[in-house]
A and B are shown apart, each in its own frame.
Chain A
Amino acid sequence: GAGVSQSPSNKVTEKGKDVELRCDPISGHTALYWYRQSLGQGLEFLIYFQGNSAPDKSGLPSDRFSAERTGGSVSTLTIQRTQQEDSAVYLCASSFSPGSYEQYFGPGTRLTVT
């Protein structure tokens, strides 16, 4: 079946612009995670959604970052007023339930802020 998909695969934007990154999780997966992979920070957790519960936003690095998940499926990560340090690969993952342990990762969106 289809895996986790993310779009766009690559995004180049100018400093100060807003960007939206999209994640389509595996159908039926209730838990959705966003991570960021960068040279300086490695792989770091950003935000977690589970069903209709309030998301865990504890990993978001600043208030310029926000995310939503509509209808318990598709998620959008928004970065406002992008900075060069936001350049990274943004990864989305989903799992059948938060306790099922295996997370399935998408291919990522490579964001470059110039």
Chain B
Amino acid sequence: GNSVTQMEGPVTLSEEAFLTINCTYTATGYPSLFWYVQYPGEGLQLLLKATKADDKGSNKGFEATYRKETTSFHLEKGSVQVSDSAVYFCALSAFNAGGTSYGKLTFGQGTILTVHP
């Protein structure tokens, strides 16, 4: 079956530090890959996505590249801010037997990021 493994947290950084959160996956076929973010007291929000190999998703200074050869989708940001403190989830979308996606998401365990001033 499909699965997502992401770097265990919590991760604590100082403002302006470089961030990497590792994510690897196991899936049949070619899934779409996502990073979702959950800010304190808020719901899950899509941060970025990539739908095919070598695609790079980016948003709010965050980036992740779909690497088929290493089955990875690591999240990076060059300079984190206090406002980036949140829980980050890596996820993939499933395909049904016919090979079309209906969007069911399989999530990693989540990584708590805390950024200090």
Contact = CB atoms under 8 A, between A and B. Distances in A.
Interface stretch (B14-22, B42-50, B60-68, B70-78): B42-50
Given A33-B103, A33-B104, A108 B43 contact: yes
Nearest to B41: A107
Contacts of A108: 43
A35 B105 contact: yes
Does more than half of chain B's interface fall in helix, strand or loop, or is it mixed? strand
A28 to B, nearest CB: 16
Interface residues of B, number: 24
A100 to B, nearest CB: 8
A103 B107 CA distance: 13
A48 interface: yes
B104 A107 contact: no
A25 interface: no
Does more than half of chain A's interface fall in helix, strand or loop, or is it mixed? strand
Interface in A16-69: 31, 33, 35, 42-45, 48, 50, 56, 59
Interface of A: 4, 31, 33, 35, 42-45, 48, 50, 56, 59, 91, 93, 95, 98-103, 105-108
24 contacts: A31-B103, A33-B103, A33-B105, A35-B107, A42-B107, A42-B109, A42-B110, A43-B89, A43-B107, A45-B104, A45-B106, A48-B102, A91-B43, A98-B101, A98-B102, A99-B103, A101-B32, A101-B34, A101-B51, A101-B93, A101-B101, A103-B105, A105-B44, A107-B43
